[in-house]
Amino acid sequence: MVEHGKISSNQVSWMIISFLLGSSILLIPSAVASSARQDAWLSLILTIAAGQAVIYNYATLSMMFPGRTFVQYSREILGKYPGMLAGLTITWFSLHLGSLVVRNFGDLLSATVLPHTPMVVTDSIIIILVIMGTRMGVEVLARVNKLIIPFIVLLILLILVLGIPEMEFKRLLPVMESGIKPVIKGSLVVIGFPYAETVLFTMIIPFLNTPGKARKALVTGGLAGGALLFFIVIWTLLVLGPASTARFWFPVLEAVRVIDIFNIIQRIESIIIIAWIFLGFLKISVCFYSFVLGLAQLFNLKDYRPLVLPAGVLMLALSQLVYENYVEEAYFASKIWFPYAMVPGLILPLTMLAVAVIRELGSRKTEK
């Protein structure tokens, strides 16, 4: 339709990995540890399992309508007006999520490395890059991602290894001290953020050059991203301990600060911030792309590119006002996000899958 690029299933897997890591790497350890304390790693295991179900759900739905995005097939499944409402929900969700992630990164830079720079300046630079990338199309985004992110992941793993001397396994004890309920509470946070958000990939997988591999690519990426999140959370717990992890704004950053090898390798938190900026850029790009593509398809436009500039300004403006302060941000991300994100992430696609199956729509060769 409006996009002529083609992406490979490998690129999709890497995109979902960087999307999952995106802003979660900043906020997840703190959010989960405040509910589950030292059992946060158990929460992650639960989450990965549940997250696979979420991904499987919308991936199956998307594979029934190859070559069409969520906005396009929602009209067929639900009818003209409910379909438009569903498409609008996803489009709004991508705008909202994008502005929240921009805000997360603006907060990160303002709080850690650029305290005297107004947040709107750093956010503007990120948005300009996102606009440029989106304007060039999904193929460019996928390729840039595939080019950079493997190195970023390697870098993060390297930093995790460097932290091994600081680890103390007794920080994970006692296991399941308060029972299973806090573990479940913690896992809900991560199911909502980031797994439910990956539903935005329903706007991207139509451009696969091998549509039959969509679900496999997404599930593989979902597992890999989840595994990485698991390692990061357990690493943070081991290096900092559960109390500190729950307390800090960016516990991974604080944990990296602790690393000091022979007084030579120290203060390497700037490296991890650079890594995060790449991941954040990719996540914002996916959200932004999903937003403008969704808008273009909702209004039956021939091209989404003219919308890119005003949409960027809108996302930037929204990012400045969505939270008044950090407390609101932390509360929203850890408590409110899960029920909110489940609507477009699970409830909506599940409903549409059910309706599509009942009405016998779409191509049914779901197993390939």
Partner 1 sequence: MVFLISLVFIAIIALEAPALVRNKKWRELAAFSVLLLIGMLYSYGQALDIPLPNPTKLILTIFEPVSLIIERLLS
Interface residues with partner 1 (CB under 8 A)?
A: 96, 181-182, 184-185, 188, 295-296, 299-303, 306-307, 309-311, 313-314, 316-318, 320-323, 328, 332, 335-336, 338-340
Query: Nearest approach, Cβ of 327 to partner 1 (angstroms)?
Result: 13
Query: Nearest approach, Cβ of 61 to partner 1 (angstroms)?
Result: 24
Parallel, antiparallel or unpaired: strands 260-261 and 265-266: antiparallel
Nearer to partner 1, 157 or 322 (CB): 322
Q: How far is Cα 84 from Cα 79, in angstroms, rounded to an integer?
A: 8
Nearer to partner 1, 183 or 279 (CB): 183
Q: How many C-beta neighbours within 10 Å does residue 42 have? A: 23
Q: Rounded to whole angstroms, what are the CA distances from 342 to 54, 125, 198, 287, 339?
A: 9, 31, 11, 16, 5
Nearer to partner 1, 258 or 317 (CB): 317
Q: Under DSSP, is residue 208 helix (H, G, I), strand (E, B) or coil?
A: strand
Q: Strand ranges (DSSP E) for 179-270?
A: 260-261, 265-266
Query: Nearest approach, Cβ of 155 to partner 1 (angstroms)?
Result: 33
Nearest CA among 74, 89, 93 for reference residue 355: 74
Nearer to partner 1, 170 or 302 (CB): 302
The vertex-119 CA angle with 115 and 124, nearest 5°, equals 135
Query: Nearest approach, Cβ of 344 to partner 1 (angstroms)?
Result: 12
Query: Nearest approach, Cβ of 135 to partner 1 (angstroms)?
Result: 11
Query: Nearest approach, Cβ of 339 to partner 1 (angstroms)?
Result: 4
Nearer to partner 1, 62 or 99 (CB): 99
Nearest CA among 238, 198, 190, 253 for reference residue 221: 198
Amino acid type, 228: L
Nearer to partner 1, 171 or 305 (CB): 305
Nearer to partner 1, 96 or 213 (CB): 96
Q: How far is Cα 264 from Cα 289, in angstroms, rounded to an integer?
A: 42
Helices (H), 241-364: 242-247, 251-258, 269-298, 308-321, 326-331, 337-342, 348-358
Query: Nearest approach, Cβ of 336 to partner 1 (angstroms)?
Result: 5
